[in-house]
Amino acid sequence: MRVDKFLNAVNIVKRRAIAQDMIENGVVKIAGISVKASRDVKVGDVIEIAFLEKSKFYQVLQIPEQKTIKKNESHLYYKEV
C-alpha cells in the first residue's frame, strides 16, 4: 500500500491530500529518508512525521485490506514508538 494511502487509511491524517502535501514537503520519512507518495509501506517500517516541535514515529503492524478503517481499530495497524 502506498504511504499516502496508508496514512489516510489508518487515520494518522484526516485526508489523503494532506498526506501528499506532507510528503512533498519532506515531512514524512521512512528509515530516515524522505519518501515519495508512491513508496510502498511494509510491515515493520517505521514512519517518521516531523512536526514543528517534535517528530512522531509510527511502526507499521499490518497493512489494511480496506480503503478506510474504524478509528477504534487503528491500533491494530500501527503503534506509536
Please report the domains of the chain, with CATH numbers, ordered by start residue.
3-80 (3.10.290.10)
Using CA atoms, how far residue 32 sits from 26, 29, 73, in Å, is 11, 5, 27
Whole-angstrom distance, CA of residue 42 vs CA of residue 21:
21
Q: Give residue 16's Cα distance to chain centre.
A: 10
pLDDT (tens place) for every residue of the chain, 81 residues total: 999 999 999 999 999 999 999 999 999 999 999 999 999 999 999 999 999 899 999 999 999 998 889 999 999 999 999
Cβ atoms 50, 27 nearer than 8 A: yes
CA distances from 78 to 24, 25, 28 (A): 22, 23, 15
The pTM is what? 0.92
DSSP 40: B
